[in-house]
């Protein structure tokens, strides 16, 4: 595991020197602050906590932004280094391919975790400093949102690694990554909504809806954060779907973990057999 830690540390240090990563952190912080203060403006009239409203806004932001950032970090992790010739050089050292994959994955997830923690943490601290609510339940939901946001990012990093290990060209990997983002974040939910409207509950039962939602890590994340805490679910607009889906938080977390492990395992398998 020492080799994994060394590779992860290298990836993390490279990420800290990357201006794109710094820009991503600043973007997350700016958008989170904007949503925190503008999105929670009506709370005085509807008598809900500003932090709870912010969780709803940031969860929606996360579904669109974090998967895209994760895929852009990971799509050329393998194929890019193969194209540049650095992967062959790295494998001349006494390190196995699975250690390379795991180390690079850990480094990229650490970069994403730091960016998310700083970006969202600044918004939460600033909102608390201004409003001073001290709502323990809201802070627990906020911490859970940050943790699951990192888990969602890790799932899409794994998917990016699978893409990168499966193709032979960086351009192809980039195109597939954008396509995957569009499918999981936009097209998939619109398709489910269309099916629900057309089906009227005849074929798409609650059990089948559960399966469809679990087949998308973004949907698992959305349900977990918008229905997992009572102070958030009251005004998140997800009560109808949540009542039909009826998925426990533990099941949703296990779903996200599965989306991390399965693509990463398959990517490692493909990389072990990849001709350099």
Q: Which residue has the higher pLDDT, 128 or 72?
A: 72
Q: What's the mean pLDDT in 243-263?
A: 85
User: Residue 221 above 80 pLDDT?
Assistant: yes
pLDDT at site 187: 94
Distance in angstroms (rounded) separating the CA atoms of residues 229 and 208? 24
Q: What share of the chain is helix, strand, coil (3-state, %, to 5)?
A: 80, 0, 20
The 10s digit of each residue's pLDDT in 96-115 is 999 999 999 999 999 999 98
User: Residue 133 above 90 pLDDT?
Assistant: no
Residue 264 · residue 105 · CB < 8 Å: yes
pLDDT at site 45: 45
- The answer to which of 10-24, 69-83, 115-129, 251-265 has the lowest mean pLDDT is 10-24
What proportion of the chain, given as a percentage, has pLDDT over 90? 36
Distance in angstroms (rounded) separating the CA atoms of residues 133 and 257? 33
Query: What is the pLDDT confidence band of residue 194, given thresholds at 50, 70 and 90?
Result: confident
User: Residue 237 above 60 pLDDT?
Assistant: no
Residue 130's nearest CA partner among 33, 63, 206 is 33
Residue 224 · residue 249 · CB < 8 Å: yes
Residue 141's nearest CA partner among 124, 119, 118, 160 is 124
Using the CB atoms, write b or e for 201-236: b if 16+ within 10 Å: eeebeeeebbebbbebbbbbbbbbbbbbbebbbeeb
User: Residue 158 above 90 pLDDT?
Assistant: yes
Residue 232 · residue 49 · CB < 8 Å: no
pLDDT at site 242: 52
User: Residue 229 above 70 pLDDT?
Assistant: no
pLDDT at site 196: 79
- The answer to which of 48-52, 74-78, 90-94, 249-253 has the lowest mean pLDDT is 48-52
Query: What is the pLDDT confidence band of residue 47, given thresholds at 50, 70 and 90?
Result: very low
Query: What is the pLDDT confidence band of residue 46, given thresholds at 50, 70 and 90?
Result: very low
pLDDT at site 136: 77
User: Residue 117 above 70 pLDDT?
Assistant: yes
- The answer to which of 158-167, 174-183, 224-233, 267-276 has the lowest mean pLDDT is 224-233
Distance in angstroms (rounded) separating the CA atoms of residues 155 and 245? 21
Q: What's the mean pLDDT in 136-157?
A: 89
Q: What's the mean pLDDT in 160-174?
A: 93
pLDDT at site 249: 85
Taking the domains of the chain in order of start, what are their residue ranges?
A: 2-272
Q: How many residues does the chain have?
A: 276
Mean pLDDT of the chain: 83
pTM of the model: 0.88
CA distances from 43 to 57, 140, 159, 235, 242 (A): 13, 19, 38, 11, 24
- The answer to which of 49-58, 64-73, 251-260 has the lowest mean pLDDT is 49-58
Q: Is the dihedral of CA 206, 209, 215, 216 positive or negative?
A: negative
Distance in angstroms (rounded) separating the CA atoms of residues 91 and 156? 25
pLDDT at site 184: 95
């Amino acid at each position: 595991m020492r080799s994994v830690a060394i590779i992860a540390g290298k990836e993390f240090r490279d990420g800290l020197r990357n201006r794109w990563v710094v820009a991503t952190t600043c973007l997350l912080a700016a958008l989170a602050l904007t949503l925190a203060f503008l999105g929670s403006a009506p709370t005085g009239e509807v008598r809900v906590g500003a932090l709870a409203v912010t969780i709803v806004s940031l969860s929606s932001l996360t579904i669109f932004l974090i998967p895209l950032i994760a895929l852009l970090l990971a799509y050329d992790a393998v194929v890019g280094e193969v194209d540049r010739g650095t992967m062959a050089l790295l494998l001349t050292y006494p390190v196995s391919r699975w250690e390379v994959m795991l180390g690079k994955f850990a480094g990229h997830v650490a970069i994403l975790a730091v960016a998310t923690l700083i970006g969202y943490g600044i918004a939460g601290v600033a909102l608390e400093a201004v409003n001073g609510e001290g709502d323990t339940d809201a802070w627990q939901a906020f911490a859970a949102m940050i943790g699951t946001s990192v888990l969602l990012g890790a799932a899409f990093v794994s998917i990016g690694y699978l893409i990168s290990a499966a193709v032979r060209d960086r351009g192809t990997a980039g195109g597939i990554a954008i396509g995957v983002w569009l499918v999981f974040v936009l097209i998939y939910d619109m398709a489910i909504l269309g099916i629900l409207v057309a089906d009227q509950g005849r074929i798409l039962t609650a059990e089948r809806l559960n399966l469809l939602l679990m087949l998308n890590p973004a949907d698992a994340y959305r349900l977990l954060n918008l229905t997992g805490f009572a102070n958030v679910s009251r005004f998140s607009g997800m009560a109808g779907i949540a009542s039909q889906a009826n998925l426990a938080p533990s099941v949703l977390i296990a779903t996200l973990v599965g989306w991390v492990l399965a693509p990463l395992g398959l990517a490692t398998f493909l990389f072990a057999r990849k001709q350099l």
